[in-house]
Amino acid sequence: MNYKLAYLCLFALSSTVSAADSSTPDWLYTVRPSDTLIGIAKTYLKQPQNWQPLQRDNHIANATAIPPGTQLRIPANLLRHAPSAAKLIAITGKVQYRLGTEPWQVASIGQQLTVGAEIMTSADGYALLELANGTRVALQASSDIVMDTLSLYANGLMADTRLRLQSGQTSILDNPQRRPNQNLRIITPTAQAVVRGTEFRVGVDGQLTREETLAGGIALSAANKTIAVDKGTGTLSKDGQPPLPPVTLLPAPDVSALPKQIERLPIRFTMPELAKAQAWHGEIVASAHPENVLLDKTSPNQNLGFADLPNGDYILRLRGVDALGLQGYDAVHKFTVFARPFPAPANQPTAGAVVRSARPVFAWGELVGVTSTHIQIATTADFKQPLFDTQANTSRWTPTSDLPTGTLYWRTASSDTAQGPWGDAVKFTYKPAPDAVDTSKAALRFDEDYLYYDLPQPAIGLHYQIALSKSATMQPLLGTALDNHNGLIKLPRPRFGDYYLSIAQVDDNDGTAGPATVQKINVPISSAVWLLAPLLLLH
């Protein structure tokens, strides 16, 4: 393809500049009372004697008596000329600049960029340029633009600016004060935008140029075809082909359901329903400095995430993207980030845990920079009436009184100079250990081979455990036995003498044992021993 023929031109509907003419447009001067051609020439022309060509070309009969309101067309090459500059008024991330082929340097806020300067933003970069007439050019991430022309004419009453967008995307608010004779052109590899007093976007992706008109009107020409791109529509041209018929831009989405406070990072927004939206583009700015885009991201799905932001108030500018890649109108959503200091991770009890102690140890992770931890325990997840509400200076804490039986919740919040957000509520259950065994209803009996211990039938979910030892410390054990949920326990009968018997109730589910009751017992001599006694004496 011959790209010299693939010339695309965008220009404001009110412009008088030829779509095929890339030269500096003429200055249009409106004659005021008492104006003369000689006086106008002395004030605005490089060579005042050139007033005579102005008279001829503008068909002025009397050079000293021009009717007020007459519009004179003055070629820019006759006007007094002065260089201008673009000023960097906002920067995010990595932004570099260079003049011509000089080495790249780090750009800074307040920097004046003269003709020939090239600005490049990184993948997380953003730059906002302001021209002499107040026009603002926002350079999005991964974009590259060159200041081709920055000129002021007629003592600053006319401006001619040409910016070459080589890649990426730019959003432009042109000539916000609506001054006359302000000329701005955005040139891409296959396009040229000649604009006056409008708001629009231009994006470059290789040989594809997209244009979205947000305010005003633009005429788009390519391959000898011109179409009107009115407010609220957009189009694209690829490889210099004729532009597609304009399509309606997506409306601003409904962001009323998005969260107004973010307490967890990274930030994740679930996108609302928006017909024909194939993707989403979001920009985040600080409420106090909306001119500076802090984060900028496009997502092909219903979740739009941003990695990190400090605590503060922010604005999300969100717009849908259609199947052609055209971005629609912004919706503005105000939100607050309140995520620091981060809540400590809950170590114990963990979610779903069953604690058996009335005063268990609560433990959480230690975070650098945290001076204290606020802990709450409640019977409901909303913590409206906490059972415990206290500060801890370590990463462990034990309640000062017994927990109530049943389902409970606990959470923490970290403090440094101020308290941060609460962590997630951790649900757990306090289930007391089994009670001590009431041995007043127990019966101990023996036969020749076994020791029997009869107890009332245990409650559902419990069983008995018995142990035998010669020591009150129950060490070493001579034997252990469990009942069969019927209250009867038997052990092999030990030799006669004094012993200690330990009995406790045990939970069937987790093996938690209640307090053991230890009693001293005496095992009598068995009848078999008595029968053998005379024989033993004969020996």
Distances (CA, A) of 228 to 171, 216, 235, 469, 519: 20, 11, 10, 101, 101
CB count in 10 Å sphere of residue 288: 10
Question: Quick one: the chain helix, strand, coil %, rounded to 5?
Answer: 5, 45, 45
225 and 144 in one domain? Answer: yes
Check: CB of residue 192 under 8 Å from CB of residue 185.
yes
The contacts of residue 459 (CB under 8 Å, 6+ apart) are 505
pLDDT of residue 6: 33
CA pair distance 277, 322, nearest whole angstrom: 5
pLDDT of residue 301: 93
The contacts of residue 213 (CB under 8 Å, 6+ apart) are 198, 199, 200, 229, 230, 231, 232, 233, 234
Distances (CA, A) of 85 to 110, 126, 151, 159: 11, 19, 8, 11
pLDDT of residue 531: 45
85 and 169 in one domain? Answer: yes
Return the CATH number at 484. Answer: 2.60.40.10
pLDDT of residue 7: 36
Give the domain range for residue 307: 261-337
Tell me how far the alpha carbon of residue 183 is from its chain's centroid. Answer: 38
pLDDT of residue 217: 80
Is 45 a domain residue?
no
- The per-residue DSSP string of 196-232 comes to SS-EEEEEEETTEEEEEEEESEEEEEETTEEEEEETT
523 and 486 in one domain? Answer: yes
215 and 100 in one domain? Answer: yes
Residue 466's nearest CA partner among 514, 503, 498, 507 is: 503
pLDDT of residue 224: 77
315 and 394 in one domain? Answer: no
- Local confidence pLDDT in tens for the 539 residues of the chain: 333 333 344 443 333 333 334 467 889 999 999 999 999 999 999 999 989 999 999 999 999 999 999 999 999 889 999 999 999 999 999 999 999 889 999 999 999 999 999 999 999 999 999 999 999 999 999 999 999 999 999 988 999 999 999 999 999 999 998 888 888 888 888 877 767 668 999 999 998 999 999 998 887 777 777 788 899 999 999 988 888 999 999 999 999 999 999 999 999 999 999 999 999 999 999 999 999 999 999 999 999 999 899 999 999 999 999 999 999 999 999 999 999 999 999 999 999 999 999 999 999 999 999 999 999 999 999 999 999 999 999 999 999 999 999 999 999 999 999 999 999 999 999 999 999 998 888 999 999 999 999 999 999 999 999 999 999 999 999 999 998 899 999 999 999 999 999 999 999 988 999 999 999 999 998 765 444 444 444 44
pLDDT of residue 223: 77
Domain count, the chain: 4
Is 480 a domain residue?
yes
pLDDT of residue 88: 97
- Angle at alpha carbon of residue 186, lines to 29 and 195, rounded to 5°: 40
Backbone angles phi, psi at 183, to 5 degrees: -115, 120
Check: CB of residue 139 under 8 Å from CB of residue 167.
no
170 and 319 in one domain? Answer: no
Strand partners, 215: 199
324 and 270 in one domain? Answer: yes
Is 377 a domain residue?
yes
Return the CATH number at 189. Answer: 2.60.120.1440
pLDDT of residue 462: 94
Is 55 a domain residue?
no
CA-derived radius of gyration, the chain: 43
Global pTM value: 0.78
Is 21 a domain residue?
no
CA pair distance 270, 280, nearest whole angstrom: 11
